[in-house]
Structure 1
């Protein structure tokens, strides 16, 4: 059984429709479509996860192409799963740099910006040129380790190997944000912090679900009840899980102190 065949029929259908629409919009310019994130690592949660994708194009996208892409993903994303996708052209992958440049990006965070541009026929966010994204170092590393090629050349032949220092910089940046946001978004932040802790401690690249199980087995027993609640909340449809500030701060301080010791 292929990795794609392990997806639910619904997810497989969504991926197929995205591939079909990208082929229509980009035509011969589509060089490859790749899956990373929880979907590639077997930890996709229909109630919590994004569909994480990377697209490689042969050349730069025009403003008109970006408008078509934005229009499509505004319709496709959150129907029913949020889509996070980045487009990188081959030239941008030739000589690796961190943060990595990209052509076009869609996530729900960008929804209002693109709706604004499309409604007013402006190009404030859909203009020519490209940006850079430090998260791409992590996405491409995950691709090399656990990614799935939907169409196009194999991952190893398409994407450069990201230096360890750039991958670490990418995930530690997210880790630092989680230190401040743990009370605001406890499930994502705790699982992400465990994932980073596991990587710096043992070099393992994991999904949030895998990190939760590792945390339960390896973190101190006094943190077990918190980690158990986190896993239960992540693996269920619950959106109203309650956590005490003290338990979140106790967890944060333990993991942060240990990551700092390892990295110092």
Structure 2
């Protein structure tokens, strides 16, 4: 079963409300807003596999002390039981939009080992005063503008800039290229992301992976429908129920790639 913010269980909502409460306590009065994007906002959130995607906006840049407190908290809280992907952006970084967008702090499970090492060894390789940039933020903010949930703080339209279509495309096409390469290793994630990029270019729809899969079932050629159905069923049930033949995945990949290239040209 998959859910959205309205239909998710009380356990998921409690997890998010506690996440919000702990963040507020760490950053004190520097808070502007806490916003959900991704599968929980758009639908398609699978409690067994989906990340909880969050953007937090602050008044000013985070100090190194605050970043280290946040890292310590997320190392404990993320994956207990839901993995968190979260970025902290201060308002100045949003006023004059640039792509890739700068941010103060980011946590996902990809960063776990790096933060554990910095904290345990008292080093500052990753947890320091630097401000970095992230190509993905153009997509995250676009989704927040169109489908996001304001859990607390200023309304979305008062906080986030409108992202140029070219920057959103740059963001999603970066992931698109990775999915082209990884479709055999990760057929579920890769296929659904390829389809939703195709759908956006074809009809301008910003969709969840689940929505893209359903669109693909209705739209893609019949010879690919069995592949797409297996992908959609596997995603919804979080089970590796089906085997995927290399040829069927490459047929689907090449069809989408050809159409995306035509739409881009």
Structure 1 and Structure 2 fold alike (TM over 0.5): yes
Question: Residues of 1 paired with 2:242 and 2:119: CA distance?
Answer: 37
With the length of structure 2 as denominator, give the TM-score of the two structures: 0.97
Alignment of 1:103 onto 2:104? yes
Shift of 1:123: 1.1
Question: Residues of 1 paired with 2:237 and 2:256: CA distance?
Answer: 24
Residues 162-208 of structure 1, C-alpha deviations (whole Å, 9 max, x = no match): 00110011101110111111111110000000000000000000000
Alignment of 1:46 onto 2:58? no
- The equivalent of 1:252 in structure 2 is 253
Question: Residues of 2 paired with 1:4 and 1:181: CA distance?
Answer: 30
Question: Residues of 2 paired with 1:4 and 1:30: CA distance?
Answer: 22
Q: After the TM superposition, which residues 64-143 of structure 1 pair with which residues of structure 2 at under 5 Å, given as runs?
A: 64-143=65-144
Q: After the TM superposition, which residues 196-207 of structure 1 pair with which residues of structure 2 at under 5 Å, given as runs?
A: 196-207=197-208
Alignment of 1:17 onto 2:18? yes
Q: Is the 8 A contact 1:5 1:12 kept in 2?
A: no
Question: Residues of 2 paired with 1:143 and 1:132: CA distance?
Answer: 18
Q: After the TM superposition, which residues 20-35 of structure 1 pair with which residues of structure 2 at under 5 Å, given as runs?
A: 20-35=21-36
Residues 67-115 of structure 1, C-alpha deviations (whole Å, 9 max, x = no match): 1101111111111111000000011011000000000000010010001
Change (3 A) 1:183 1:206: same
Shift of 1:240: 6.0
Question: Residues of 2 paired with 1:247 and 1:202: CA distance?
Answer: 25
Shift of 1:48: 2.0
- The equivalent of 1:185 in structure 2 is 186
Change (3 A) 1:4 1:232: closer
Question: Residues of 2 paired with 1:48 and 1:208: CA distance?
Answer: 13
With the length of structure 1 as denominator, give the TM-score of the two structures: 0.97
Question: Residues of 1 paired with 2:43 and 2:247: CA distance?
Answer: 32
Change (3 A) 1:5 1:203: closer
Question: Residues of 2 paired with 1:224 and 1:5: CA distance?
Answer: 30
Shift of 1:135: 0.4
Alignment of 1:150 onto 2:133? no
Q: Is the 8 A contact 2:36 2:53 kept in 1?
A: yes
Q: Is the 8 A contact 2:44 2:236 kept in 1?
A: no
Question: Residues of 2 paired with 1:237 and 1:99: CA distance?
Answer: 32
Say how many residue pairs are matched: 262
Residues 227-263 of structure 1, C-alpha deviations (whole Å, 9 max, x = no match): 0110111011314642111111111000000000010
Counterpart secondary structure, 2:126:
coil
Question: Residues of 1 paired with 2:156 and 2:215: CA distance?
Answer: 28
RMSD: 1.1
**Structure 2 segments unaligned to the other structure (5+ residues):** none
Question: Residues of 2 paired with 1:136 and 1:254: CA distance?
Answer: 28
